[in-house]
Amino acid sequence: MTKKMTKYEENRQLVETNVTQQMIHQNANAKKERALVMIGAIGAVNHIAAALSAQTMRGLQKIRDEKIFESLGFNRFDDFLNDSDLSPMTYRQFIDREKLLENEGDELFDVLNTLRMSQKQRRLLGSGNVQIDESKQTVLIITGENLEEDVEEISINDRTRLLQTLSALADQAAVLNQKTIRQKTQIERGERQVEELRKKLDDAQNKPGKVSLFDMTMSITLSIDAMAELVKKSSEIDKANGELLLNTIRAGLARLEQAYSRKPYGEMTDDEIKATVGKKVKKLAAGSEPDDDELADLTASMDEEDLAALMDD
Provide the residue ranges of all domains of the chain, joining segments of one domain with +. 15-114, 173-311
Query: H/E/C letters for each residue in 18-80?
Result: HHHHHHHHHHHHHHHHHHHHHHHHHHHHHHHCCCCCHHHHHHHHHHHHCCHHHHHCCCCHHHH
Cα angle value 168/174/177 (rounded, 5°): 145
**What is the structure's pLDDT at 281?**
52
Which residues does 125 contact at the CB level (< 8 Å), separation at least 6? 166, 169, 170, 173
**What is the structure's pLDDT at 299?**
44
Q: Does the structure show a pLDDT above 70 at 23?
A: no
Phi–psi pair at 142, nearest 5 degrees: -85, 120
Q: Using CA atoms, how far apart are residues 117 and 111, in angstroms rounded to an integer? A: 10
**What is the structure's pLDDT at 135?**
80
pTM of the predicted model, to two decimals?
Answer: 0.48
Which residues does 200 contact at the CB level (< 8 Å), separation at least 6? 219
H helix or E strand, kind and range, residue 131: strand 130-133
**What is the structure's pLDDT at 230?**
56
- In three-state secondary structure terms, 265 is coil
**What is the structure's pLDDT at 264?**
43
Q: Using CA atoms, how far apart are residues 243 and 238, in angstroms rounded to an integer? A: 9
Q: Are 71 and 35 in contact (CB under 8 A)?
A: yes
**What is the structure's pLDDT at 272?**
58
The least confident of 5-14, 76-85, 118-127 is 5-14
Per the model's pLDDT, the better-predicted residue between 81 and 298 turns out to be 81
**What is the structure's pLDDT at 312?**
46
**What is the structure's pLDDT at 91?**
93
Q: Using CA atoms, how far apart are residues 196 and 202, in angstroms rounded to an integer? A: 10
Which range in 10-24, 44-58, 209-223, 256-270 is most confidently predicted, on average pLDDT?
A: 44-58
pLDDT digits (tens, 9 = 90+) for 147-203: 456 777 888 888 888 888 888 888 887 777 777 777 777 777 767 766 776 676 666
Average pLDDT for 68-91:
87
pLDDT digits (tens, 9 = 90+) for 98-153: 999 988 888 888 888 888 888 888 888 876 678 888 888 888 777 655 545 677 78
Average pLDDT for 222-237:
55
Cα of 149 vs its chain's centroid, Å? 22
Q: Are 140 and 164 in contact (CB under 8 A)?
A: no
Confidence band of 291 (pLDDT split at 50, 70, 90)? very low
For residue 153, list its beta bridge partners: 140
Phi–psi pair at 152, nearest 5 degrees: -105, 130
